[in-house]
A and B are shown apart, each in its own frame.
Chain A
Amino acid sequence: MRVTITEYLGLDLSEERWKCNRCGADLGSAQEPYKKGCLIRDRDPHDVHFPIGPNKGYNFAFDPEWVRIVEFYCPGCGTMLENEYLPPGHPLTWDIEVDLQQLKNKHLREDLS
C-alpha cells in the first residue's frame, strides 16, 4: 500500500520503495535516501535570487562562493521534490529515514480498526 510521507514523497510499504507523489516514479529503496533516486543539479543561487545592487559580496542574494542551491528532481516528471542550500562540495543531507517496521505496524493497526 502507498502512504504519503511528505508533499512529494510517497512510500510503497509492501515494496519498501520511495515513489513520487506526482507521477508515481520509483525513487529507490526506502532503506536508502530518496535523493539517490533523483536527478540532481547544483545551481548558482543568482539564477533564482537575483542580486540587488552592485556589491559583489553583499547583494541580498546568496554569495555563490559560500552557497550553491542543490535541487532534487523526480526523474519521471521533473518536479523539484526538495532542495538544499550548501557550501560547494558539502555532503548532502539524508533528511528522512523512516522506521519502516513502525510505519507498517501503524498502518496495519489502522486497517484493522
Chain B
Amino acid sequence: MGRLFDEKARLFEGLVYDGNAFGKGPAWDPSLLKEGPAPLTELEREGIDRLSDVDLELMRHKLTSIVEEARDVYMSLSISEGIITGDMNCSIFTASGDPAVVATGIYFHSLLNYTQVKYINKYYRNDHTVGLKDGDIYFFNDELGGGVHTFDMFVAMPIFYEGELIAWAEVGGHQGDSGSVSPGGFSPKATSRYEEGLHICQMRIGENDEIRRDIFEFMCGSVRNPFVFGSDLKARVATCIRIRQRFLREVERRGVATTVGGLRKILTSTEQMARDRLRELNDGVYRAVLFNDDVGREPGLTRIPTTVFKEGDEMTVLVQSVSPENFAGSMHSTWHLVRASLGVYLFSYFFRGLPPNAGLLEPLRVLVEGPSIANSSAEVAHGEGTSISACVAQNLHVVGSKILFDSPYREAVSSPHSRNLLLYIFAGENRRGYQTANFTGTANAAGQGARYDLDGESALGFYWGPFTDSGEVEDIDSRLPQLVLGRVVEKNNHGYGKTRGGAPLVEISTAFGDRGCMMTSRGSADKLSHNPGVFGGYWGPPNPRFVIRNTNVMQLMAEGDDLKFANQYELLTERPLEGEYLISSSSGETQKFDEGDIFVWSLGGGGGYGDVLERDPEEVLLDLQSGLITQEVADKVYGLVLDPETRETDAEGTEKRRGEMRAERLRAGKTFDEFTKYWSKQKPKEEILKYYGHWPEPRLEEYDKPFWGQYR
C-alpha cells in the first residue's frame, strides 16, 4: 500500500500483522474479522440503482433515527451503570452482517460485534442443527468472536421480510458481571482466558421472540447479579424487536430493495468521504510511542509504538516491535480491538464532521504485530485489552494532530483525552437493601486534552465515550454501598502548556454502614501516563490507586468537625485524617473495606499543548485562583511573576523571568550528538523490563540507532 510504506517499512518475519494472531477455533473464525464488507447482493444493487442522492440522504437519516430511538429505549430500560452512561450500541447490519447504522455512546462499538453475525450466516444458517429463522435471538460476549471482553454483551436478531433475510438488529453494551474471577466483570488479575467468566461467541438463546427459560436460568445462574443481568437481557431483546418493527415499516413504505440498498449504500458513500478528506492532508510518515506500566498481576514496563504512513487517499497504521504477550494479566488486545479503538479518535477528531460509521475506516490499513500485547493469541486473558488498544488510539491522536495542523481541519488539533484509567468497582448491599456491583459516574469525568486555541475542558466524559454523563451523587447514595464525601475538580492534575489540559473530577468516599463493602480496582498509568501533550505541552500526570485505611473520618463528621481537605491534593499533602495512607498500582484485587476506609479516585487530566512559557500570564493567574494549580507550578513551570502587593500579574517581570528560563534551556541543552552519546548509556532497571522484550526494541536483540523504528 504505497511507495512510502514500501520504502520505509520492514515487517519482521514470523509474526502476523494483517489480522489476528490466533487461528480458527471451536467457535470463532478470525478470517471473518478482517473480511471487509461483503459483495453487493442483487437486491442491494437493485435498490442502489433506484436511489437518488436525495433519497439516500433521507434514507440515512431515517435509518439513523431508528437506531437513535432504539438507543433511547435501551438506555431507559437498562439497570446496568455502563449502559446508562453510554457504553452501549444499537445497530442495523446488512443481511451479510456489515454494520451500516449505529447509535452508540462509544464509537468503537460501531466497528465491533458484527462478525459474530457473519459467523452465524456462514456456519449456522444452513446447519440443520441450528438454522436461522424469524424470531431467533442470538447472544454473544466473547472477544475472540469479534467483541471487546466478556463483560460487553450483545443480542442480535435477524430481520426477515417475506421469508427472506434482509437485515439484522443488534443491541448491547457494557453489562458488568460475567461470572469471572472478580465481581463486576473486570478481572485485572486474570492470567488466562479461563478466568474471565462466561464465553459465548454466538449462541441462539431464544426463538419466536422469547428467550428460552432453560437458557435464561443458566445464564442468570452463572453471574453474580442475576436480576440486573436478566432484566438487561430482556431489555436488549425488547429493543431489537423495536428496531425490527421500525425497519419493516420502512420496508413496507419504500420497498424492500430500496431500503436494503440504502442500508448498503450508506457504508460505501462514507468511505468516499474519508478518502476525499485524506487526499487533502500532507503525505508522510509520522510516529508516536507510549508505554504501559502494569501487566495486571504486577508492575512492568511494556511498549506500544505506532507508525502512520499517509499517502494519497489511504493511510497505513503500523504497530510494530511491541512487547510480547504474557500470562501475568489481562492487558492483551486483539487485532480487531485495536482497529476499532482507532475509531474513537478518528470519528471525533480526524474525520470530524463526517458521518461516524464503519465506512470511514475502509481507506485505512491496520497492521498490528502479533502475537503481542496488542494482537494476542487465544489463550491469554483479554479483559483489560482496551488499555493497550487505547495506547494505539492515543498515539494516533498525537500523530493526527501533527498531520492536521497544516490542513483545513486545524480545529481538530488537540492533545488526547485523558486515558489514565482507574476504576473502582464497589460491591455490596446498598442502603436500600439491593445487592449491587458497579463503578460510579466519576468514570465519565476525565480531563480533556488541550486544544490548539482553547484549554481542555475539565471533567468532560469518559475517554471512549463522547456522550457520557457523570451522574449525580444523590443517585450514587441510593445505589451504591459507599458514601461520597466530595466530588471536586482536582488540583495539579492536568498537563501544563500554552493551553492546558482539563482536570478530572476526583471522587472521595468512605465505605459506610456496618457491612462495609468490597472494592476491586483496575487500571494502569500509575508511574507513567497515557495522556501525552503535543508540541511541547506537558503530559497529564499518572493517577495510581489511593485508599486510606482506618481513618477517623466518621468520628470527625459525627462530632461536627471540619474535614480539612478539599481534594486529593490536600488529603495527601496535609494529611488531615489519621489512618494508613496506601498508594499503589491501579490494578487491585478485590478487598473488603469497612466504614471509615476512604477511597479516592479520578480518571486523570488531559495533556497540554505548546510551550508553557507561552501561556498568557493572566490565564496562569486564573488557573492559580481557581485552584487548578499551586503557586509552585505557577512560579517554576510557568515563570509567572506577581506584583507582591496587588497579587496581580507583573507582565514585565514575567517576561524577564521567562527570558531567564529560556536562557537556562539554551545553556543546559546539549547538541544532538552530545545528547545521544549520553542518552544511549541510560537504561531502566532490569526488574522493570521483565515483560518488555528486548531493550529497547522488543523484537530485536540489538538496536543502537538514535531514533526508534528504523528497521532498514
Contacts and interface: CB of A to CB of B under 8 A. Distances in A.
Contacts of A72: 536
A89 B684 contact: yes
Contact of B705 (A3, A73, A86, A91): A91
A96 B286 contact: yes
Contacts of A48: 496, 538, 637
B583 A38 contact: no
- Among A8, A66, A77, max chain B CB count under 10 A is at A66
12 contacts: A6-B402, A7-B452, A8-B610, A39-B671, A41-B670, A53-B573, A55-B583, A58-B527, A75-B669, A79-B536, A87-B696, A94-B709
Contacts of A97: 8, 284-286
Given A86-B289, A94-B287, 19 more contacts: A6-B402, A6-B405, A7-B452, A7-B610, A40-B672, A40-B675, A41-B669, A41-B675, A49-B492, A61-B541, A66-B291, A71-B669, A79-B536, A80-B612, A81-B611, A82-B536, A87-B291, A97-B8, A99-B282
Contacts of B681: 89
Nearest to B570: A52
Contacts of A62: 527-529, 541-542
Contact of B679 (A4, A7, A33, A42): A42
Interface string B318-358: 00000000000000000000000000000000000000000
A78 B633 contact: no
Interface string B549-577: 00000000000000000001100110000
A82 B535 contact: yes
Contact of A93 (B529, B537, B666, B708): B708
Given A49-B541, A62-B542, A89 B535 contact: no
A81 B611 CA distance: 7
A92 interface: yes
Given A38-B672, A85-B529, A95 B288 contact: yes
Given A62-B528, A92-B707, A94-B709, A73 B665 contact: yes
A102 to B, nearest CB: 4
B656 interface: no
B383 interface: no
B129 interface: no
B649 to A, nearest CB: 21
B681 to A, nearest CB: 7
A14 B581 CA distance: 61
A53 B662 CA distance: 30
A50 B633 contact: yes
Interface string B600-618: 0000000001111110000
A53 B527 contact: no
Contacts of B432: none
B424 to A, nearest CB: 16
Interface in B496-553: 496, 498, 526-529, 532-533, 535-539, 541-545
A92 B288 CA distance: 10
Interface of B: 4, 8, 282-289, 291, 293, 301, 311, 399, 402, 405-406, 452, 492-493, 496, 498, 526-529, 532-533, 535-539, 541-545, 568-569, 572-573, 581, 583-585, 609-614, 630, 632-633, 636-637, 661-663, 665-666, 668-672, 675-676, 679-685, 688, 696, 703, 705-710
A82 B526 CA distance: 23
Interface in A57-77: 57-63, 65-73, 75, 77
Given A58-B583, A81-B536, A91 B541 contact: no
A59 B672 CA distance: 32
Contacts of A35: 672
B672 A89 contact: no
A89 B679 contact: yes
B569 A8 contact: no
A5 B665 contact: no
Given A62-B528, A63-B528, A66-B527, A91 B703 contact: yes
A83 B662 contact: no
B406 A6 contact: yes
Contact of A87 (B539, B666, B684): B684
Contact of B663 (A38, A78, A95): A78
Contacts of B696: 87, 89-91
B496 A6 contact: no
A37 interface: yes
Given A55-B583, A57-B527, A95-B287, A89 B683 contact: yes
A79 B288 contact: no
B707 A67 contact: no
A39 B676 CA distance: 11
A78 B284 contact: no
A80 B572 contact: no
A40 B706 CA distance: 13
B293 A66 contact: yes
Contacts of B288: 93, 95
Nearest to B674: A40
A73 B282 contact: no
A7 to B, nearest CB: 4
B637 A93 contact: no
- The 7 tightest CB contacts between A and B, nearest first, are A39-B669, A78-B662, A89-B682, A53-B572, A88-B682, A99-B283, A63-B527
Nearest to A50: B632
Given A5-B406, A66-B684, A99-B4, A91 B706 contact: yes
A97 B498 CA distance: 25
Nearest to B528: A67
- Among A52, A53, A103, A106, max chain B CB count under 10 A is at A52
A15 B594 CA distance: 69
Contact of A79 (B284, B527, B611): B611
Contacts of B311: 99
Contacts of B287: 93-95
A70 B289 CA distance: 13
Given A60-B544, A78-B665, A98 B708 contact: no
A58 B632 CA distance: 20
A96 B284 contact: yes
Nearest to B687: A65
B665 A41 contact: yes
A38 B282 CA distance: 23
A79 B662 contact: yes
Given A65-B684, A73-B666, A89-B682, A53 B675 contact: no
B542 A91 contact: no
B402 A96 contact: yes
A86 B573 CA distance: 28
Nearest to A68: B682
Contact of B613 (A79, A90, A92): A79
Contacts of B632: 50
Contacts of A38: 669, 672
A93 B707 contact: yes
Contact of B672 (A7, A36, A53, A54): A36
Contacts of A98: 282-284
